[in-house]
Chain A
Amino acid sequence: MMHLAPGDPAIRAAGGTEATPEAIASARHRLGLDQPLMLQYLQWLSGIVRGDLGTSLFSSQTVSDALMARLPINISLTAGAMVVAIGLAIPAGVVAAIRAGGIIDRMLMAMTTAGIAMPSFLIGLTGIYLFAIVLPWFPALGYVPLSESLWGWGHHLILPWLALGFASGAEIARHMRSAFIDVLEQDYIVSAFASGLPRLVVYAKHALKNAAVPVVTSIGLQVGQLLGGSVIVETIFSMRGLGSLAIRSVVDRDFPMIQGIALISALIVIAVNLVTDLSYSYFNPKIRTS
Chain B
Amino acid sequence: MSAKSSSTYRYRYLPLLVMVLMIVSSCQAGNGEDAPAVEAGSDADEAEEADETPEGEGDSGQDEPDELGYLRFADLGGVDTLDPDRSIGGNQLPPLLLTYDRLIHVDPSTGTLVPGLAESWSFASGDELILELRENVQFHDGVSFNAEAVLANLERSNTLEGRSGVVEAAMGSIGEVEAIDELTVRIVKDPDASNLAWSLIESQLGENVGMMISPEAIESADLDSQPVGAGMMTVEAFSPGEQVDYVAFDDYWDSEALRLSGMEWTFINDSRTRFNAVLAGEVDLTFIEPGDIPEAEEAGLDIAVETGLEVVQVFLNHSMPPLDDANVRRALQVSVDRAGIVEGLTFGTGEPTTQIFPPNYEGFNDEYGSDYYEFDPDRAMQLLEESGSTDINLSMFVINRPRDIQLGEAVQAGLQQAGIDLEVVPIEAARAGEYLDGEAHMILGRRGRLDALAVLDLSFATDGGWNPGGTNTEAIQGLLAEAASLPEGEERWQVIRQLSGEIAEEGLVLPLFASGTPWAQSGCVDGFEPSLVNWHTFRGVSVASDC
Find out whether the CB atom of A251 lies under 8 angstroms from the CB atom of B240. Answer: no
- Contact, CB under 8 Å: A238 / B268: yes
The chain A residue with its CB closest to the CB of B433 is A11
Query: Which of B21, B168, B282 is A139 in contact with, Cβ under 8 Å?
Result: B282
A135–chain B nearest beta-carbon distance, Å: 9
Question: B431 in the interface, Cβ–Cβ < 8 Å?
Answer: yes
Query: In the complex, what residues of B have CB within 8 A of residue A237's CB?
Result: 273
Contact of B385 with A by CB under 8 A: no
Task: Judge whether B282 and A142 touch: CB under 8 Å.
Answer: yes
Given the complex, which residues of A lie within 8 Å of B21, measured CB to CB? 151
Q: A interface, how many residues as a size bin? A: 35 or more
Q: Quick check: B22 and A151 within 8 Å, CB to CB?
A: yes
- Of the candidates A15, A132, A155, which one forms a contact with B88 in the assembled complex, judged by CB atoms under 8 Å apart? A15
A194 CB to nearest B CB, Å = 29
- Known A-B contacts A137-B26, A140-B276, A235-B273; A15 and B164 likewise in contact (beta carbons under 8 Å): yes
Residues of B within 8 Å of A11, CB to CB, are 430, 432-433
Chain B residue contacts of A17, Cβ below 8 A: 432-433, 435-436, 465-466
Contact of B277 among A16, A27, A141, A151 (CB under 8 A): A141
Q: Within the complex, which residue of A69, A132, A137, A139 is in contact with B23, where a contact is CB–CB below 8 Å? A: A137
Q: Does B429 contact A (CB under 8 A)?
A: yes
With A and B bound together, what is the CA distance between A11 and B277 in angstroms?
A: 33
Instruction: Check B168 against A16 for contact (C-beta < 8 Å).
Output: no
> What is the size category of the interface that chain B forms with chain A?
35 or more
Contacts A128-B276, A139-B282; A14 near B165 (Cβ below 8 A): yes
Chain A residues with CB under 8 A of B78: 248
Contacts of B273 in A (CB 8 A): 141, 235-238
Complex: chain B residue closest to A236, CB-CB: B273
The reply to whether the CB of B534 lies closer than 8 angstroms to some CB of chain A is: no
What is the distance, in angstroms, from B313's C-beta to the closest C-beta of chain A?
14
Query: Is the CB–CB distance between A137 and B27 below 8 Å?
Result: yes
Choose the segment among A46-54, A56-64, A94-102 that binds chain B (4+ C-beta atoms closer than 8 Å). Answer: A56-64
| Interface contact tally, CB-CB below 8 A | 150
Q: Is the CB of A8 within 8 A of B430?
A: yes
B1-31 CB contact bits vs A (8 Å, 1 = yes)? Answer: 0000000000000000010011101110100
How far is A19 from B299 in the complex, measured between Cα atoms in Å?
43
A91 neighbours in B (Cβ, 8 Å): none
A7→B89 CA distance, assembly (Å)? 20
In the complex, A215→B415 CA distance in Å? Answer: 56
Contact A251 B433 (CB under 8 A): no
- Chain A residues contacting B178 (CB-CB under 8 Å) are none
Find the B residue at minimum CB distance from A31. Answer: B162
In residues 193-247 of chain A, which contact B (Cβ within 8 Å)? 235-238, 240
**Which A residues lie within 8 Å of B280 (CB)?**
128, 132-133, 136, 139-141
Contact A240 B282, beta carbon cutoff 8 Å: no
Q: Is B166 an interface residue (CB 8 A)?
A: yes
**Which residues of chain A from 140 to 167 have a CB within 8 Å of any chain B CB?**
140-142, 151, 154-155, 158
B443 (CB) vs chain A CBs: closest residue: A17
Check: B392 CB closer than 8 A to any chain A CB: no
- The verdict on A30 contacting B276 (CB below 8 Å), with A69-B239, A137-B26, A238-B268 known, is no
State A271–B80 Cα separation when bound (angstroms): 32
A9 lies within 8 A of chain B by Cβ: yes
Interface string of B450-491 (1 = CB under 8 A from A): 000000001000000110000000000000000000000000
B224 at the interface (CB under 8 A from A): yes
Does residue B521 face the partner (Cβ distance < 8 Å to A)? no
Q: Is A185 an interface residue (CB 8 A)?
A: no
A38 to B162, CA, bound (A): 24
* B50 in contact (CB, < 8 A): no
Q: Knowing A154-B22, A236-B272, A251-B430 touch, does A15 contact B80 (C-beta < 8 A)?
A: no
B 25-41 to A, binary, CB cutoff 8 A, 1 in contact else 0: 11101000000000000
Picked from A60, A66, A236, A248, the residue with its CB within 8 Å of the CB of B270 is A236
Contact between chains at B431 and A6 (CB < 8 Å)? yes
Shortest CB-to-CB span from B225 to chain A, Å, is: 6
Nearest-CB distance from A272 to chain B (Å)?
Answer: 25
Instruction: Specify which of A58, A69, A151 is in contact with B81 (CB 8 Å cutoff).
Output: A58
A238 to B274, CA, bound (A): 9
Q: Which residue of A lies closest to B427 (CB)?
A: A6
A6–B434 touching, CB < 8 Å = yes
- Whether B165 pairs with A16 at a CB distance below 8 angstroms is yes
Asked if residues B25 and A155 are in contact (CB atoms below 8 Å), the reply is yes
Q: How many angstroms from the CA of A276 to the CA of B523 in the assembled complex? A: 52
Q: Does B339 contact A (CB under 8 A)?
A: no
Residues of A contacting B268 in the complex (Cβ-Cβ under 8 angstroms): 141, 238
A31 to chain B, nearest CB (A): 9
Q: Does A18 contact B (CB under 8 A)?
A: yes
Q: Can you list 21 A-B contacts (CB < 8 A)?
A: A8-B430, A9-B430, A14-B164, A16-B88, A16-B89, A18-B165, A20-B168, A24-B165, A58-B80, A58-B81, A59-B225, A60-B221, A69-B239, A125-B276, A133-B276, A141-B280, A154-B18, A155-B25, A238-B277, A248-B78, A252-B430
Binding site for A on B (CB under 8 A): 18, 21-23, 25-27, 29, 78, 80-81, 88-90, 161-162, 164-169, 221-222, 224-225, 239-242, 266, 268-270, 272-273, 276-277, 279-282, 299, 427-436, 458, 465-466
Query: Apart from A66-B240, A139-B282, A251-B430, what are 12 other A-B pairs with CB-CB below 8 Å?
Result: A8-B433, A15-B88, A15-B168, A19-B88, A128-B276, A132-B276, A140-B276, A140-B282, A141-B273, A142-B282, A236-B270, A236-B272
> When A and B form their complex, which 5 residue pairs have the shortest distance between CB atoms, in order from nearest?
A15-B165, A19-B165, A7-B430, A140-B280, A60-B224
